[in-house]
Chains A and B, each alone.
Chain A
């Protein structure tokens, strides 16, 4: 299988490559229009800041390319947030694949620490990325901004407020958590994505 990872100024690429390699796939890392369009699956990972990342994507024409992709696409963490309409992080205009804004966590109690960091449970639709999931599972999160629950929510988590741990619309899939850092559960999610 031909899997492409979108190459841009983001961290944490090595873990995604490692996780795919363990599933028997050798991904290519590319920002080339043709290579991204030709891939069977595209992964849009991300650790970084929304507004500077969006500027980078626009400057390299990647915003258009990602929106126009027809094969299954998986956005991870910042990748999910950038697929939304806009983000409170740096007031960024994002890709608009999911017409929902990205908001900053507003803690109300002392024990609600931001970033939301660590293992938390997801309640899923049991479909798509979560095929075969029947009970809440723990996955690994690190984030300060969140996507509210909306019509494209494919998995839900509660932290300060209920939010979208995962989104799905047509060929676009996204997770707020890091499947590549979520042990065997994360591997199942990545495998489900590769099997779509």
Chain B
């Protein structure tokens, strides 16, 4: 039975882990390799490392970090942040990343998804979408949620799939950092309409929220950050809980 995945997300700045609440107010939560290894030992199914460094030197530091992660961690990991063109993807994959997530760059240049799929295969291409519920529907935002776009969530997700994305990572900006659960209604629609896996992101605050996103949101995987980083939900306890509810989980 294919297991539902639990994915801790680590935001990285200058080689260190940070996590914002509602995308601001960063707090330090340790060395990414150590933290990644700890999560792997605790039973995390995958890891996501997001580079939020802006500088050129920061990119180099991040690439070196990706090499260290690949050398030390024995579960799949995705890297994202600062991927603008195919050469960024090539650099990160050859450093040892299994997948890359593209967000703003793909909205600005959708052909990037085609290029990644064509050159490296759909399985490496995660289309990350940040969206917010507006009166007209779910609208996509850029740059960590600061800039609205003319794209809507569902049509963009379909287009990303058609262009060759292998997974959709959907973050509800309304739910992110609020810890009241995932955006299950939108997730369910995404998951039921698309033929690629959907990763739920934004809103985890309790174990029940993971249950709800798998059962009601039909998510294939659930991503969270601070509840893991600050020990609010220990991964072994979460997986035992979900397993007890007969949700397919790797123990």
A residues sitting closer than 8 Å to B (CB atoms) are: 11-12, 14-15, 18-19, 21-22, 47-49, 107, 110, 113-121, 138, 140, 142, 158-159, 178, 180-184, 186-187
Main secondary structure of the interface of A (DSSP, over half): mixed
Do B45 and A119 have beta carbons less than 8 Å apart?
A: yes
Residues of B contacting A186 in the complex (Cβ-Cβ under 8 angstroms): 74
Q: Which of B45, B96, B123, B220 is A115 in contact with, Cβ under 8 Å?
A: B123
Do A18 and B70 have beta carbons less than 8 Å apart?
A: yes
Residues of A contacting B192 in the complex (Cβ-Cβ under 8 angstroms): 110
Expressed in whole angstroms, the Cα–Cα distance for A22 and B167 within the complex equals 30
- B30 at the binding interface (Cβ < 8 Å): no
Q: Which residue of B lies closest to A158 (CB)?
A: B1
Within 8 A of A (CB), among B213-251: 220-221, 250-251
Expressed in whole angstroms, the Cα–Cα distance for A119 and B221 within the complex equals 11
Interface string of B1-44 (1 = CB under 8 A from A): 11101000000000000000000000000000000000010000
Do B121 and A47 have beta carbons less than 8 Å apart?
A: yes
Q: How far is the CB of B169 from chain A (nearest CB, A)?
A: 13
Q: How far is the CB of B167 from chain A (nearest CB, A)?
A: 8
B72, B94, B121: residue with the most chain A Cβ atoms closer than 10 Å:
B121
Expressed in whole angstroms, the Cα–Cα distance for A117 and B95 within the complex equals 21
Do B121 and A118 have beta carbons less than 8 Å apart?
A: no
Do A119 and B5 have beta carbons less than 8 Å apart?
A: yes
Residues of B contacting A138 in the complex (Cβ-Cβ under 8 angstroms): 3, 250-251
The 6 closest A-B pairs by CB, nearest first: A14-B96, A138-B250, A119-B3, A119-B250, A18-B71, A142-B123
Expressed in whole angstroms, the Cα–Cα distance for A11 and B93 within the complex equals 8
Q: Which residue of A lies closest to B67 (CB)?
A: A14
Q: How far is the CB of B92 from chain A (nearest CB, A)?
A: 11
Q: Which of B1, B195, B221 is A110 in contact with, Cβ under 8 Å?
A: B195
Expressed in whole angstroms, the Cα–Cα distance for A93 and B26 within the complex equals 54
Q: Which residue of A lies closest to B218 (CB)?
A: A111
Do A118 and B3 have beta carbons less than 8 Å apart?
A: yes
Do B75 and A18 have beta carbons less than 8 Å apart?
A: no
Query: Would you give 7 A-B contacts (Cβ < 8 Å), ordered by A?
Result: A18-B70, A114-B195, A118-B5, A119-B5, A140-B76, A159-B2, A180-B74
Q: Which residue of A lies closest to B73 (CB)?
A: A18
Do B75 and A120 have beta carbons less than 8 Å apart?
A: no
- B58 at the binding interface (Cβ < 8 Å): no
Known: A18-B74, A113-B195, A119-B250; 20 extra A-B contacts, CB below 8 A, are: A11-B93, A14-B67, A14-B94, A18-B70, A22-B72, A47-B121, A48-B121, A107-B195, A114-B195, A115-B122, A115-B166, A117-B197, A118-B3, A118-B5, A120-B1, A140-B75, A159-B2, A183-B40, A183-B75, A187-B74
